[in-house]
Amino acid sequence: MIQKYRFGTPIETEAAVLDITSIPVERSADGILSAPDIVNDEACLLTLASVSLDKGFSLTLTLDDRDAVYGLGEANRGINKRGHLYISHCNDDPNHTEEKVSLYGAHNFIMVIGAKCFGLFFDYPSDICFDIGYTRQDTLTVRADGTELYVYLITGDGALDIVRQFRWLIGRSYIPPLWAFGYIQSRWGYKNENDIRRVAAGYRSNHLPLDSISMDIDYMEDYKDFTVDQERFPDLSALSAEMKEQGLHFIPIIDAGVKIEPGYDVYEEGVKNNYFCKRADGTDFVAGVWPGKTHFPDMLNTKARRWFGNYYKRLIDQGIEGFWNDMNEPAIFYSEEGLAEAFRRMEELREQKENPDLNAFGAMCDAFCISNLQEDYERFYHNMDGKKIRHDKVHNLYGYNMTRAASESFDEICPDRRLLLFSRSSYIGMHRYGGIWTGDNHSWWSHLLLNVKMMPSLSMCGFLYSGADLGGFGSNTTRDLLLRWLAFGIFTPLMRNHSALGTREQECYQFEGLEDFRNILRLRYRLIPYLYSEYMKAALNDELLFTPLAFVWPQDAVARETEDQLLLGEGLMLTPVCQQNATGRHVYLPEDMLFLLFTSSEEYTVTPMSAGHHYISCGLAEVPVFLRPGHLLPLAPSCECTAQLDYSSFEVLGEAGKGLTYSMYTDDGYTKHPERDGRWITITK
């Protein structure tokens, strides 16, 4: 059951799609809250938790020792969120160390599962803090400065049921084209078409499978959105046709900020039509980002959104079928005001120049820490279809609506075809328009583990098409880290190797022993029919793609606490190796399973294992997975790109002679209506 509580007059975020009558919460003169519309015998938010509107909104409840707290989508730390605090504030912070409380997304859905059992979704577009046993170990507090919001209370029969209801509430997840399940190579720094050709050749000539190359800001002319540098990429249409012949797709990046440059039509039109975010005095707000000074398109304005979305057509017309939206928290290196203030502060410190004491030196260092400042988010306004709203009040909706702008324009530009779209920043609701990648991680083993733990939380919040920068974005990767990360990445829908400018090159062919990479990538392609089918089931039935063991075996204390193993779809349990120099790992089996160890893309061992604790050996080039009883794993013949995928013959792993079947989804991989155009076929063994 879902109840929707209304506090005040909330901003309509369109995160939810179900039309549910809301229950108004009333506040008496002495501050007592009541929900008069609630029939007495029903569970009520106000009896379940103590809610106050005295100093902003707060909701507090006591956690039992047995309660775990799940959710929050793209957030730091473990699957069970207990023990820390998290602030939904879409943030461009490229150092996801353990103490960080905000990443790029704002996914305000949590579930308390244990002695109690319910879910809460806070539809609130500004900063909101989830203190989950941080201030007091036994207390959950959710607080926000504002008091106008919707809170959804979802009760049900365990975690899986609550997730299903929540996902029904927020609408069907985005479904990408089939080729988006192919392997993507990316790097910040492919500066011209020859760099791109070299990457294509590096993969194709070494028979390393590849479907796409994503293009970072280097392809643009002076970082101007929807332009292509004519010197470095003289003919994008020809280049994309050339790549298509090799079965390759291009995925260009689009940034949020539009360069201020007279004569640049996006800038000119935006100014003329008042499509940019404005300061209080009505002038266009200026933010420094990659192109230097920019304006932010007002993504919360319907007309501006349509206008911005239409520009994607320029690249689509040149053969482009996929995009990634970046810097859309929106990230701000500096504002004009912030920059002026920084120079003023330095001026004040000038006298200390010859012999600064520590305080002065600290102040000098701090003077230019002016990126992504709260003050800047308070300096500009949106025109939400007639309503003027200060940005900080709706901060978490920006990336969501940039991606929505693109998606809605795709519906007009190519109504029958699915395009690939993923974003850095997001809010719940955006999952209907595109996927996300999890931003600027590092080439750290701990970030491989973070990737593993984040996947089920993303599933809970509807972000099915997602994945991390495999191999790590910042810092220098190593061969073993990349191999282990790819061995996990072959199971994530978005499988992209991406790295930052200036770091060690991390395309697979940069390392020795290419056959190890080849085997792992080829195995990905063998798994795509399973992955794609399970993706469709999760999207069409509002189910999890990645499931924590705790949700399936809630009575099993060890399963409940196991966070480095995940269920993927109906039959697989993933047990990635996330430790340097490890030649295997401990695994826990809540039930008897078949251990499948892929020693290459074609070869594997099958070992029945009984429930309980085991140590499995797993070499650097091997992929360990477990198959649950009663399930089959179909494997396509290996190939080098999705265009070569052969659905006519499958190798089927699992128990023979038991009449087991697997339901597989097939379609052309790009038409838009999966229920109408797709077909379910039955695989047997």
Nearer Cβ to ligand MIG (424/685): 424
Q: Write out the binding residues for ligand MIG, residues 301-340 only, by CB under 6 A.
A: 326-327
**Alpha carbon distance 186, 196 (integer Å):** 10
Q: How far is the CB of 307 from ligand MIG (least distance, A)?
A: 23
Nearer Cβ to ligand MIG (426/638): 426
Residue type, 5: Y
Nearest by Cα to 394 from 292, 480, 277:
277
**Alpha carbon distance 64, 74 (integer Å):** 25
Q: How far is the CB of 247 from ligand MIG (least distance, A)?
A: 24
Q: How far is the CB of 367 from ligand MIG (least distance, A)?
A: 21
Q: How far is the CB of 498 from ligand MIG (least distance, A)?
A: 6
Q: How far is the CB of 332 from ligand MIG (least distance, A)?
A: 11
Query: Count residues contacting ligand MIG (CB under 6 A)?
Result: 10
Q: How far is the CB of 290 from ligand MIG (least distance, A)?
A: 7
The residue sitting closest to ligand MIG, measured at its beta carbon, is 188
Q: Write out the binding residues for ligand MIG, residues 250-269 only, by CB under 6 A.
A: 253
Token pair listed for 682: 């039955």
Token pair listed for 195: 């760099």
Q: Write out the binding residues for ligand MIG, residues 473-502 only, by CB under 6 A.
A: 498
Q: How far is the CB of 439 from ligand MIG (least distance, A)?
A: 5
**What is the CA 35 to chain-centroid distance, rounded?**
35
Q: How far is the CB of 374 from ligand MIG (least distance, A)?
A: 19
Nearer Cβ to ligand MIG (7/223): 223
Q: Write out the binding residues for ligand MIG, residues 191-230 only, by CB under 6 A.
A: 216-217
Distances in Å between the Cα of 307 and the Cα atoms of 275, 406, 420, 559 are 8, 10, 20, 50
Q: How far is the CB of 469 from ligand MIG (least distance, A)?
A: 7
Q: How far is the CB of 186 from ligand MIG (least distance, A)?
A: 8
424 binds ligand MIG (CB under 6 A): yes
To which residue do tokens 């990905």 refer? 524
What residues does 469 pair with on adjacent strands? 496
What is the chain's Cα-based Rg? 25
Distances in Å between the Cα of 615 and the Cα atoms of 339, 584, 600 are 56, 7, 20
Nearer Cβ to ligand MIG (3/497): 497
Nearer Cβ to ligand MIG (114/474): 474
Nearer Cβ to ligand MIG (214/565): 214
C-beta separation of 637 from 525 below 8 A? no
Q: Which H or E element spans position 259?
A: strand 258-259
Q: Which H or E element spans position 121?
A: strand 117-123
Distances in Å between the Cα of 550 and the Cα atoms of 114, 242, 526, 590 are 10, 48, 29, 10
Crossing angle (nearest 10°) for helices 514-540 and 479-489: 30
x/- track of binding to ligand MIG for residues 165-184 (CB under 6 A):
--------------------
Long-range contacts of range 481-486, CB-CB < 8 Å, 24 or more positions apart? 481/443, 481/445, 481/448, 481/580, 482/506, 482/508, 482/511, 483/516, 483/517, 483/520, 483/620, 483/621, 484/448, 484/576, 484/577, 484/578, 484/620, 485/448, 485/451, 486/517, 486/520, 486/521
Nearer Cβ to ligand MIG (256/286): 256
Binder to ligand MIG among 131, 440, 516, 640 (CB under 6 A)?
Answer: 440
Nearer Cβ to ligand MIG (217/521): 217
Q: How far is the CB of 373 from ligand MIG (least distance, A)?
A: 16
Nearer Cβ to ligand MIG (86/188): 188
- Compute φ and ψ for 343, nearest 5 degrees: -65, -35
Nearer Cβ to ligand MIG (439/493): 439
Nearer Cβ to ligand MIG (211/216): 216
C-beta separation of 128 from 122 below 8 A? yes
Distances in Å between the Cα of 330 and the Cα atoms of 146, 197, 277, 373, 663 are 21, 32, 12, 11, 42
Binder to ligand MIG among 439, 471, 569, 590 (CB under 6 A)?
Answer: 439
Nearest by Cα to 347 from 365, 364, 366, 333:
364
Binder to ligand MIG among 188, 312, 463, 595 (CB under 6 A)?
Answer: 188
- What does the angle CA 296 – CA 299 – CA 301 come to, to the nearest 5 degrees? 120
Nearer Cβ to ligand MIG (159/468): 468
Nearer Cβ to ligand MIG (93/193): 93
Nearer Cβ to ligand MIG (370/523): 370
Q: List helix spans (H) across 122-276.
A: 159-170, 193-204, 236-245, 265-272
**Cα torsion angle, 169, 174, 178, 182, sign:** negative
Q: How far is the CB of 511 from ligand MIG (least distance, A)?
A: 21
What is the arrangement of strands in the sheet containing 249-255, beginning at the earlier edge strand? 466-467, 435-437, 420-423, 322-326, 249-255, 212-215, 183-187, 495-497, 469-470
Long-range contacts of range 232-239, CB-CB < 8 Å, 24 or more positions apart? 232/191, 232/192, 232/193, 233/192, 233/193, 234/193, 236/315, 236/318, 236/319, 236/320, 237/317, 237/318, 237/319, 239/193, 239/196
Q: How far is the CB of 401 from ligand MIG (least distance, A)?
A: 19
Nearer Cβ to ligand MIG (175/253): 253
**Alpha carbon distance 453, 457 (integer Å):** 8
Q: How far is the CB of 253 from ligand MIG (least distance, A)?
A: 6
Question: Are β-strands 287-289 and 420-423 bridged in parallel, bridged antiparallel, or unpaired?
Answer: unpaired
**Alpha carbon distance 135, 629 (integer Å):** 43
Q: How far is the CB of 430 from ligand MIG (least distance, A)?
A: 16
Q: How far is the CB of 95 from ligand MIG (least distance, A)?
A: 12
Q: How far is the CB of 100 from ligand MIG (least distance, A)?
A: 15
Nearer Cβ to ligand MIG (326/534): 326
Nearer Cβ to ligand MIG (114/439): 439
**Alpha carbon distance 526, 187 (integer Å):** 25
x/- track of binding to ligand MIG for residues 126-165 (CB under 6 A):
----------------------------------------
SS3 138: coil
Binding site for ligand MIG (CB under 6 A): 188, 216-217, 253, 326-327, 424, 439-440, 498
